Amino acid sequence: EPLDPVRVLTNRSSGKQGYAIAQAAIDAGAATVLITAPTCLTPPVGAKVIQVHTAEDMLGSVLQECLQADALVMAAAVADFRPKRAAQNKLKRRDGIPRVELEAAPDILQAVLKLGDPKPRLVAGFAAESQDLLENASAKLESKKLDLLVANDISATDAGFSVDTNRVILLAPNAPAETLPLMDKTEVAEILIARIAARLEKP
Ligand code: CTP
């Protein structure tokens, strides 16, 4: 989220898990659209790639692509807050320390939820939690009315942001939680896509 033409507010997400999910979806034979903010990663060959920069941009692209998607996986660490105003010109040191007022960024999952038909038959989200993982994630599953939730403990050093491995719990309404051991993000992606495919195959 821009502060001025050179500075942005961002977060520690690398995009690795999202890119791995796009790759796993392609490998499973799905027509795949990867909507991504800037990362250092190479997009998987075979995906339609849409580059976005802000939560607002991502919202527009997600809503557009949802018109023809069977499933949406929201793995992006979208901003919850953004500067209320982005300065048109670079903020200068000589002008003193700026006061930055934040406002809410659009909640993409909430907007998808409000879509009438057609909307994706399956919506999966992520829950990045640093405490009370299962409790917070279960509440998110319900409040966001998700079909699947990947709960992520970001306080662990071998899971979550930036690293290649992840330790997640898969949650679905009215189903027991599936706790996966520490594994590569590519393996998490394959399991998630397999679960999504199985659910889409159900009439
Ligand atoms: N998400 C979204 N739009 C946002 C922020 C998040 O659609 N502006 C999605 C994420 O892609 C993820 C899910 O919401 O699939 C949960 O994100 P998370 O940051 O864990 O939860 P929040 O709803 O932002 O709640 P909190 O930060 O208070 O835990």
Tens of pLDDT, residue by residue over 49-93, are 999 999 999 999 999 999 999 999 999 999 999 999 999 999 999
* Predicted TM-score (pTM) of this structure: 0.94
Q: Check residue 118 and give its pLDDT.
A: 67
Report the nearest-CA residue for atom 5 of ligand 1. 78
Q: Mean per-residue pLDDT for 17-24?
A: 97
pLDDT bracket for residue 104 (50, 70, 90): very high
Tens of pLDDT, residue by residue over 109-150, are 999 999 877 689 999 999 988 889 999 999 999 999 999 999
109 C-alpha vs ligand 1 centroid, how far in Å? 8
Cα distance between the two ends of the chain: 41
87 C-alpha vs ligand 1 centroid, how far in Å? 26
User: Tokens 């392609």 correspond to what residue?
Assistant: 26
Residue among 17, 61, 78 whose CB has most ligand 1 atoms within 8 A, to mutate: 78
Q: Is 78 in the pocket of ligand 1 (CB under 6 A)?
A: yes
User: Token pair of 165, please?
Assistant: 């491995």
Q: Is 126 in the pocket of ligand 1 (CB under 6 A)?
A: yes
Q: Check residue 197 and give its pLDDT.
A: 97
Residues in the chain: 203
Q: Is 74 in the pocket of ligand 1 (CB under 6 A)?
A: yes
Enter the DSSP assignment of 144.
T
Amino acid at 196: I
More confident residue, 129 or 4: 4
135 C-alpha vs ligand 1 centroid, how far in Å? 15
- Nearest of 32, 29, 36, 23 to residue 69 by alpha carbon: 32
Is the pLDDT reported for residue 98 higher than 90?
A: yes
User: Token pair of 19, please?
Assistant: 């890119």
Cis before 98? omega within 30: no
89, 111 contact by CB (below 8 A): no
**Catalytically active residues, by annotation:** 11
Q: What is the DSSP string of 23-46?
A: HHHHHTT---EEEE-S-SSPPPTT
Q: Is 19 in the pocket of ligand 1 (CB under 6 A)?
A: no
Enter the DSSP assignment of 97.
P
Q: Check residue 202 and give its pLDDT.
A: 84
